[in-house]
A and B are shown apart, each in its own frame.
Chain A
């Protein structure tokens, strides 16, 4: 009798241990163009290379039309625990974990919300793309953490025109641009 109890106890313990060790994985889910909209900007999400998604440890998935919107979501929901986070390869649209992807940024690159960041499955294809385009700064996920997340150049120019045209001359363009960038950041929160 006692033996059976012991065996039962040990097996139960083993099962619990196994269950505890098994790591929950958060797989990417497909994009449904008819239903999915960006959790930040409300735009319909195209099933293209710019779509991104993250799943919280609660099991809720949020999808975005641009990696910049995903970044904004993370800033707004800093307390959220994220289980899985995916971007897409620019060439074959395969889902890649956010921290394993290679990124290329240029203010001239077009993207749905004009953040101008493209993602690639490896550094080689990212490099090939910058070579082909003749522009673009190579970045890693770690670099994105310190990225300024500005939305395209013309927008910055526009803000500059509004805010600085009276007190700054043409030669101050660069400084004015930087100022406008800072404004943009605070505007959107």
Chain B
């Protein structure tokens, strides 16, 4: 009997490892698919060694007239370039490594200049980016950037487009051992307005997309992973963040001192590596609409502090440790959100005059005698535990302890002021945005299948090899 038990344990471990291997292999495959240039430009460099030392790329650019399209010959070049007139530069197969030192490898300094398909590597640490955009209406498309400092920087650039590019750090800055102080942002905007940042992938940088004092930018369909903050807004107006996704960042979207933003249909899962992880954090945010987002498996789904006059609706906040934290925030509306299988659904304190209506809280036992799908008893959030643990975080160990429940029930004198959902739903609302609800998870089925098959194989192997011991 006893031996059978330990066999089972071994077999289970074995299976876990197998599953992880399979997953890792899949991730690797996806990564290589994402970075076609990673293997591509090494080959092209070998194929055309004569390009090195020939007429420099800068000479070619200098010879071209404004408005011209210039196609650069593929190869690897140890030089830095400046595009200082309106050129359309095609650079597929070109790898630029800079001339050493902490200076931008590519500078786009002319209005309307375009750069397509170049691989840019900046190996020098410091504060200069791999690609610096300092003019209006610049287009960069399909760049592959590997940088020891910033990826792409926009400085006082308006109406530019950054599309389909990949930003990653040098290998030594990847992984958990890398110090945050050594990392820099992937795409970094400062005093740059009305830009479009679309379909880029940022991995392992400091902040994926960082916008400071930059307004009316559209951040659409980007993917950010293993960075500190996926999208980080500081003092921005009218930012649109739509259909972005991310995982394994410290926080998915970090909105700080933000006005009039739109945050819709983003998917941020598994932000849980750091003890301070959140799906989305809103600090001093006003007049912003947050809708149709999917926040699952994070440490905290939605963290909201000192924010006013915002709307959160049709968000799916599930499988997080804490669903929503609402602190010192007024006049917000939270409607038709779903809170499913969070360990702690809500922690709210110091928040008055917020309108919470028609949300679905799966841990809540409602009563619906009228049969309209809306509970007649409100969902009330007791701030006692939040207050206690804010003062002394170590008291979190008393989470859900019988004594804590008892104490919570004692301090109800100011219950009228607590945050509450007056009309919670009995069933989750149908999501208004199609993209969040109908999104199938292609992995779960395959993963389950692989795990099952592995389990079967492992079991059969053990039985055939060890045999069944008769007692």
Q: Measuring CB to CB, which residues of chain A are less than 8 angstroms from any residue of chain B?
A: 33-35, 37, 41-44, 46-48, 113-114, 151-155, 158, 162, 187-188
Contact = CB atoms under 8 A, between A and B. Distances in A.
A151 B305 CA distance: 19
A114 B303 contact: no
Given A47-B180, A114-B212, A158 B235 contact: yes
Contacts of A152: 213, 235
B250 interface: yes
B181 A155 contact: no
Nearest to A31: B181
Contact of B274 (A34, A151, A188): A34
B314 interface: no
B127 to A, nearest CB: 10
Contacts of B257: 151, 155
Nearest to B260: A162
B441 interface: no
B228 interface: yes
A35 B275 contact: yes
Interface string B266-310: 000000001110000101100000000000000000010110000
Interface of B: 179-181, 191, 212-213, 215, 228, 234-235, 237, 250, 254, 256-257, 259, 274-276, 281, 283-284, 303, 305-306
23 contacts: A33-B181, A34-B274, A35-B274, A37-B276, A41-B256, A42-B283, A42-B305, A44-B228, A44-B250, A44-B274, A47-B181, A114-B213, A151-B257, A152-B213, A154-B213, A154-B235, A155-B235, A155-B257, A158-B235, A158-B237, A162-B237, A187-B284, A188-B284
A9 B181 CA distance: 57
B274 A41 contact: no
- 8 closest A-B pairs (Cβ-Cβ)? A154-B213, A155-B235, A37-B276, A33-B180, A46-B181, A154-B191, A48-B181, A47-B181
Contacts of A153: 213
Nearest to B212: A114
Nearest to A158: B237
Given A37-B276, A41-B283, A44-B228, A158 B215 contact: yes
Given A33-B181, A44-B276, A46-B181, 16 more contacts: A33-B179, A34-B275, A41-B256, A42-B283, A43-B254, A43-B256, A44-B228, A44-B250, A47-B180, A114-B212, A114-B213, A152-B235, A153-B213, A155-B235, A158-B213, A162-B259
B421 to A, nearest CB: 25
A42 B281 contact: yes
Contact of A42 (B213, B275, B303): B303
Contacts of B303: 42
B432 to A, nearest CB: 29
Contacts of B212: 114, 154
Contacts of B228: 44
Contacts of B306: 188
A33 B276 CA distance: 11
Contacts of A151: 235, 257
B174 to A, nearest CB: 16
Nearest to B250: A44
Contacts of A43: 254, 256
Contacts of A158: 213, 215, 235, 237
Contacts of B281: 42
A47 B179 contact: yes
Contacts of B237: 158, 162
A187 B237 CA distance: 16
A128 B250 CA distance: 37
Contacts of B234: 113-114
Nearest to B214: A154
A152 B234 CA distance: 11
Residue among A34, A43, A48 facing the most chain B CB atoms (10 A cut-off) = A43
A43 B305 CA distance: 12
A34 B179 CA distance: 9
Contacts of B191: 154
A63 to B, nearest CB: 12
A103 B389 CA distance: 35
A35 B250 CA distance: 11
Contacts of B235: 114, 151-152, 154-155, 158
A162 to B, nearest CB: 8
Contact of A44 (B180, B284, B305): B180
Nearest to A151: B235
A28 to B, nearest CB: 17
A141 B305 CA distance: 30
A30 B259 CA distance: 35
Contacts of A155: 213, 235, 257
A151 B234 CA distance: 11
A35 B275 CA distance: 6
B252 to A, nearest CB: 14
A35 B180 contact: no
Contacts of B181: 33, 46-48
Contacts of B180: 33, 44, 46-47
A39 B250 CA distance: 17
Contacts of B283: 41-42
A37 to B, nearest CB: 5
Contacts of B250: 44
